Amino acid sequence: MASKPCIVRMIARLTRNIRAGTLPTAADLPDLADDWSRIFVHTTDAELDAAVDAYLSAPAPWWPTPGQVLAHTPIAMLAATLGTDADADRAWTDLGARLAHLRNRQRRPAEVFALPTALDPEPNRHAAMWAGLVVIGGIDGHGQSDINDRTVAARFRAAYLAARQQQRVDPVAVRAILTAAPLMIGVAS
């Protein structure tokens, strides 16, 4: 949970260099911090600081609502990328590369099934890729399809997207994704 001192710092940062009389005063900060702390109950100080940095660098309306700041947290920004077409396209490409790698190592399907992160080192992405792989007939189904076969890719993508969209509404899953591979996804934790 973001601390009240961090929230007071954030509000002070947001109000710097704004003309007097249009925004909350210093006397309002403790009450605002009480209100905003309920919104940021699952947000750490570091995440809140990162959100304010992102908000201040984005073209956005001025004085932000807590929700507008919250939307700029690393977790919210990552969640927004889950279940997108670009995410599914990357997963389809990565699936082909990963299965080719496993085939080159001559691993039997039973060995692959036993690996908890055989398709991706990040467990949530692995689970979503697995959901897509199951829909297309597993490893054999992928191996028998032409990489350009749009129907197979579309079925994979649909199952993958459904799994990722479920993950994006679960803050615990998004936090796990963010902390598991921050460099891989391009979001600093």
Q: What would the pLDDT profile of 119-136 be if each residue is shown by its tens digit?
A: 887 788 888 998 999 898
The domain of 156 spans: 80-185
Domain shared by 164 and 84, yes or no: yes
Residue 160 has pLDDT above 70, yes or no: yes
Tell whether 97 and 18 lie within a shared domain: no
Asked if residue 133 and residue 55 are part of one domain, the reply reads: no
Q: Are residues 88 and 149 in the same domain?
A: yes
Distance CA 139, CA 121 (A): 18
Q: Which of 21, 51, 72 is the last residue of a domain?
A: 72
pTM of the predicted protein model: 0.58
Q: Does one domain contain both 58 and 39?
A: yes
pLDDT at residue 116 above 60? no
Same domain, 57 and 101: no
Q: Are residues 129 and 45 in the same domain?
A: no
Q: How many CA atoms lie within 13 A of 54 on its CB side?
A: 19
Last residue of a domain, one of 72, 97, 115: 72
Domain boundary among 55, 72, 89: 72
Spatial distance between the Cα atoms of 51 and 74, rounded to a whole number of angstroms: 7
Question: How many domains does the structure of the chain reveal?
Answer: 2
The reported pLDDT for the residue numbered 187 is: 38
Query: For residue 165, what are its two tokens?
Result: 């969209």
CA dist., res. 115 & res. 118, Å (int)? 5
- Please give the pLDDT value at position 188: 38
Question: Which amino acid makes up residue 175?
Answer: R
> Are residues 98 and 160 both part of a single domain?
yes
State the pLDDT at residue 132: 92
My answer on whether 85 and 163 are in the same domain is: yes
178 shares a domain with 101: yes
Ramachandran quadrant class, 25 (left: phi over 0; alpha: psi -120 to 50; beta: rest):
beta
Q: What is the DSSP letter of 21?
A: T
In this structure, the answer to whether residues 87 and 180 fall within a common structural domain is: yes
